Amino acid sequence: MNLEQAWQAALAEIELQISRPNFVTWFAESKLLEKNEGVALVALPNNFAKEWIESRYQKIILGALRNLDETTKKVDFVVASAMSRPPAARAGLGRLQNDDLGQQSFSELKIDPETNLNPRYTLSSFVVGKSNELAFAAAQAIVQSPGHKYNPFFIYGGVGLGKTHLIQGMGNEIKALYKNAVKVRYVSSEKFTNDVIWAIKNKRMETVKEKYRFIDVLIIDDIQFIADKQATVEEFFHTFNALYESNKQVIISSDRPPRFIPTLEDRMRSRFEGGVLADIGYPDYELRCAIIKTKIEEKGVIASDEIVTLIANKIQRSIREIEGVLNKMLFYQNKRGEPVNIKTAEHIIEEVSERPAKNISANHIIKTVAGFYEISPLDLVNRSRKKEIAESRQIAMYLLRDMLSLSYPYIGRKLGRRDHTTAMYACVKISEEINRNQNLNHKILAIKDLINKA
Ligand code: ADP
Ligand code: MG
């Protein structure tokens, strides 16, 4: 197993132990650089991420690595920009050419320091199906003439559905097409926030302004995480306007459409809505199969058709989870020297898709849903049959089931003293409707965010 595979397997474990937004935010750009004498060295994209992860997730990471290899004693962190320098220039990273680090995994580590793009994400490796074909078509059109058509381009969809892949793929493609004539830059909204905070602290706002305003294609990932700080939002607005007004391409991703991002001001929101909005939905069965088949080929996983079908049936909501399953399969395949059988595959799927119980109470969920709909929590728990609260109560039921795995009789009793069939009906209905109704889906995402935040 090479380092990349080991890290993917560790990430699959880590993902189960922390919240989704945190996982996505902090681990998306992480890499395992080396393992030597029980010390694992993990690369992170910036100092901000490094400090954050060091102080909060060190134990979890060490635990996950130890599960894979008992000899792991310690985990250290470095900032990833160190990776783009030649190995000799990297103090303390001299052992990087270790045999473990195959040619291929090395290219995976190469984040372009100028654009901040990961070359792994390409448009040609993006598998297209019904749920992402419009977003993909828009992406291709923009690549052909950045800044002219479709500006800004705002792409939204749930976690793990391919937003980062698509927007980074666009960046890589533009870079390949126009070389140095077009300056591309990819940033996460944390990175942007961090830059602004740093500039304010060091009185270097001009540096940041220059850094962002001389860009031809600005790609901002996960805009919903932009810090809720006046100065950051303000600076983002100015940067955006400056670029937009000089016909520079702005590409933005988010887990929900602009109207559900509370930190965005109205003027910003209407700007985004005035461009092109494209959503990536949940992949249908066909697309899931196509992705699984493409990825097993890419990764060298050996899987029977039966296993492909099993994964496609069981994991419906996240391509990242599909990838997690395949990575774990690869891990077992390498460890045992034979392809995994259907039983092991079942076990892996369960492990990857199981959510750990969080420290959230039923009352907290009820209060948050009520707050979101601006009604009283009492309306939800009492027997009220008011029509306006029907949807909110069904969503509360669904969330109690989805987030806390509570029983239907309990949920029914708790919300409006109804019987278990009412609760079951609500949960099934909402979980089906999420697939069809993006609006509902985004409402639920926004509520979940609120629940997880408090
Ligand atoms: P998001 O940014 O929406 O949370 P990512 O872009 O990080 O999701 O995608 C999660 C994983 O799934 C990545 O490894 C990505 O390469 C893969 N992926 C997502 N969609 C596709 C697709 N259509 N084709 C191939 N791989 C995909
Ligand atoms: Mg992403």
269-279: pLDDT as tens digits: 899 998 999 99
The DSSP string of 323-369 is: HHHHHHHHHHHHHHTS---HHHHHHHHHHHHPPPPPS--HHHHHHHH
Name residue, tokens 């907290």: 364
Gap from CA of 117 to ligand 1 centroid (Å): 15
388-397 average pLDDT score: 91
Per-residue pLDDT tens over the stretch 408-419: 888 999 998 888
Q: What integer pLDDT is reported at residue 355 of this predicted model?
A: 58
Q: Look at residue 88 and tell me whether its pLDDT is greater than 80.
A: no
Boundary residue ending a domain (280, 314, 335): 280
| Closest ligand relative to 25 C-alpha | 2
Give the position, in ligand 1's atom list, of the atom nearest the Cα of 128.
23
Task: Give the closest residue to 277 by CA, choosing from 378, 159, 154.
Answer: 154
Task: Count structural domains, the chain.
Answer: 4
9 with 100, same domain: the answer is yes
Pocket mutation for ligand 1, best pick of 26, 320, 330 (most atoms within 8 Å of C-beta): 320
Per-residue pLDDT tens over the stretch 161-194: 999 999 999 999 999 999 889 999 999 887 888 8
Instruction: Give long-range contacts, CB 8 A cutoff, 24+ apart: 273-276.
Output: 273/154, 275/150, 275/151, 275/152, 275/153, 275/154, 275/250, 276/138, 276/150, 276/151, 276/152, 276/153, 276/154
Tell me whether residue 154 is in a domain. Answer: yes
125-148 average pLDDT score: 94
Ligand 1, atom 6: closest residue by C-alpha: 162
Please enumerate in sequence order all residues whose Cβ is within 8 A of that of 224, keeping only pairs 6 or more positions apart, or say none: 189, 254, 255, 256, 261, 263, 449
Q: What is the mean pLDDT of the chain?
A: 85
387 with 347, same domain: the answer is no
Residue 319 CB less than 6 A away from ligand 1: yes
310-326 average pLDDT score: 92
Gap from CA of 348 to ligand 1 centroid (Å): 20
Highest-scoring range by mean pLDDT, 96-100, 343-347, 432-436:
343-347
Q: Quote the CA–CA distance of 181 and 362 in Å, as a whole number.
A: 55
431 with 315, same domain: the answer is no
Residue 126 CB less than 6 A away from ligand 1: yes
Q: What integer pLDDT is reported at residue 354 of this predicted model?
A: 66
52 with 39, same domain: the answer is yes
Residue 323 CB less than 6 A away from ligand 1: yes
Task: Give the closest residue to 143 by CA, choosing from 163, 122, 125, 128.
Answer: 122
| Closest ligand relative to 118 C-alpha | 1
Give the range among 75-79, 147-151, 339-343, 353-357 with minimum mean pLDDT: 353-357
The parent domain of residue 440 ranges over: 362-453
Highest-scoring range by mean pLDDT, 7-21, 46-60, 119-133, 221-235:
119-133
Residue 186 CB less than 6 A away from ligand 1: no
Gap from CA of 434 to ligand 1 centroid (Å): 20
Residue 349 CB less than 6 A away from ligand 1: no
Gap from CA of 121 to ligand 2 centroid (Å): 11
49 with 153, same domain: the answer is no
Share of the chain above pLDDT 90, in %: 41
Q: Look at residue 98 and tell me whether its pLDDT is greater than 50.
A: no
Give the position, in ligand 1's atom list, of the atom nearest the Cα of 283.
23
Pocket mutation for ligand 1, best pick of 26, 108, 161, 220 (most atoms within 8 Å of C-beta): 161
Boundary residue ending a domain (280, 309, 337): 280
Q: Look at residue 95 and tell me whether its pLDDT is greater than 50.
A: no
pLDDT higher for 63 or 90? 63
Per-residue pLDDT tens over the stretch 344-382: 999 999 888 765 545 789 999 999 999 888 889 999 998
Give the range among 19-33, 199-213, 393-407 with minimum mean pLDDT: 19-33
CATH of the domain at 423: 1.10.1750.10
Tell me whether residue 260 is in a domain. Answer: yes
Q: Quote the CA–CA distance of 142 and 289 in Å, as a whole number.
A: 28
Share of the chain above pLDDT 70, in %: 91
Ligand 1, atom 27: closest residue by C-alpha: 162
Gap from CA of 27 to ligand 1 centroid (Å): 14
264 with 289, same domain: the answer is no
262-268 average pLDDT score: 83
Gap from CA of 410 to ligand 1 centroid (Å): 37
Q: Quote the CA–CA distance of 3 and 9 in Å, as a whole number.
A: 10
